[in-house]
């Protein structure tokens, strides 16, 4: 309830400001933007561009989570390897996203592989760092128990290790999604010919503020929907035993 009121207050503030400025080309009101979203959705290419961006978000997310999970687990469980890889992790954590994107486009070319790889490279270190912390906090007694009862490797990973990592996986997935879609927009802005980022670039060149807001807000809505409909329920499901 508080969230809804807070959101309503933000919209009211936006509407008031737009009313005071009275120039829709500088700041259109929320109803104006809502109308544009509907028109782009039903008569324009909104879904096409949103689909292209979502596919890139999904691909980069899968890549970043897979590599980050494996690397984080290895680094969290193996101290000597962690000592070797930690400096690399620090370097990549501090590498600006823009640098990675530009270098990927220069080295690989202006194509999908470069775009997705650039986003994933930006996210992998963050997932790795979060999963490593989770792996370091593993319950050593459970390791002993699994060894004593000779649990098969896959069963041990699935039922002993991954559930302990679940809060860290969920946290990195949620922060990852938030970060990835923003970087995807930059990648599209700089070097793709479709996607929400490409549309933002187009309307930026045309100084079209209403359309910039239309595309950015519609994608924010989609990402909020993913957060509420997929990520939060999954996190709740994964941690249901804590509330039992």
Partner 1 sequence: MISVEVTRKSFGRAQILGEISFSISPGECVALLGPSGVGKTTLLRIISGLDDTFEGAVTRPDRLAMVFQEPTLLNWRSALDNLTLVTGIDEAGALNAMAEVGLDGKSQHYPLQLSLGQRRRLALARAFVTNPDFLIMDEPFASLDPERIGEMMELTQSLLNKRKIATLFVTHSEEEANTLATRVLRLGGSPAGLV
Q: Which residues are at the interface with partner 1 (CB under 8 A)? A: 139, 141-142, 144-149, 151, 155, 159-160, 163, 166, 241-242, 244
Residue with smaller CB distance to partner 1, 164 or 194: 164
Q: How many CA atoms lie within 13 A of 133 on its CB side?
A: 10
- Shortest CB 161 distance to partner 1, Å: 11
Residue with smaller CB distance to partner 1, 116 or 173: 173
Q: How many CA atoms lie within 13 A of 48 on its CB side?
A: 9
Structure tokens at 75: 């680094």
Residue with smaller CB distance to partner 1, 51 or 163: 163
Residue with smaller CB distance to partner 1, 106 or 145: 145
Calculate the CA 156 to chain-centre distance. Answer: 29
Residue with smaller CB distance to partner 1, 136 or 159: 159
- Shortest CB 180 distance to partner 1, Å: 28
Encode 79-97: b = buried (16+ Cβ within 10 Å), e = exposed. Answer: eeebeebeeebeebeeeeb
- Shortest CB 131 distance to partner 1, Å: 18
- DSSP-H helix ranges across the chain: 2-21, 30-42, 46-77, 79-93, 97-108, 112-136, 140-148, 153-156, 162-191, 196-205, 209-226, 232-238, 240-243
- Shortest CB 137 distance to partner 1, Å: 14
Using an 8 Å Cβ cutoff, are 165 and 131 in contact? yes
- Shortest CB 124 distance to partner 1, Å: 27
The span from the CA of 116 to the CA of 53, in Å, is 10
- Which of 170, 171, 201, 204 minimizes the C-alpha distance to 184? 201
- Shortest CB 145 distance to partner 1, Å: 5
Residue with smaller CB distance to partner 1, 43 or 141: 141
- Three-state DSSP at 33 gives helix
- Shortest CB 141 distance to partner 1, Å: 5
Residue with smaller CB distance to partner 1, 77 or 182: 77
The span from the CA of 176 to the CA of 180, in Å, is 6
């Amino acid at each position: 309830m508080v969230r809804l009121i807070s959101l309503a207050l933000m919209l009211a503030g936006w509407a008031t400001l737009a009313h005071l400025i009275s120039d829709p080309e500088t700041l259109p009101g929320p109803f104006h933007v809502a109308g544009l979203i509907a028109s782009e959705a039903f008569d324009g290419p909104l879904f096409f561009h949103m689909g292209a961006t979502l596919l890139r978000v999904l691909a980069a997310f899968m890549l970043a989570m897979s590599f980050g999970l494996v690397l984080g687990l290895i680094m969290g469980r193996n101290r000597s390897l962690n000592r070797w890889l930690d400096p690399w992790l620090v370097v990549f954590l501090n590498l600006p996203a823009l640098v990675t994107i530009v270098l990927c486009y220069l080295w690989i070319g202006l194509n999908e592989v470069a775009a997705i790889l650039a986003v994933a490279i930006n996210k992998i270190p963050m997932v790795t760092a979060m999963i490593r912390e989770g792996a370091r906090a593993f319950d050593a007694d459970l390791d002993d128990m699994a060894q004593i009862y000779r649990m098969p490797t896959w069963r041990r990973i699935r039922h002993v290790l991954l559930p302990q990592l679940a809060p860290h996986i969920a946290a990195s997935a949620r922060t990852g999604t938030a970060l990835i879609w923003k970087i995807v927009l930059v990648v599209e802005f700089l070097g793709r010919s479709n996607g929400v980022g490409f549309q933002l670039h187009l309307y930026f060149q045309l100084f079209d503020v209403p359309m910039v807001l239309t595309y950015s807000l519609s994608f924010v809505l989609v990402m909020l929907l993913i957060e509420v409909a997929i990520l939060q329920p999954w996190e709740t499901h994964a941690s249901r035993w804590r509330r039992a």
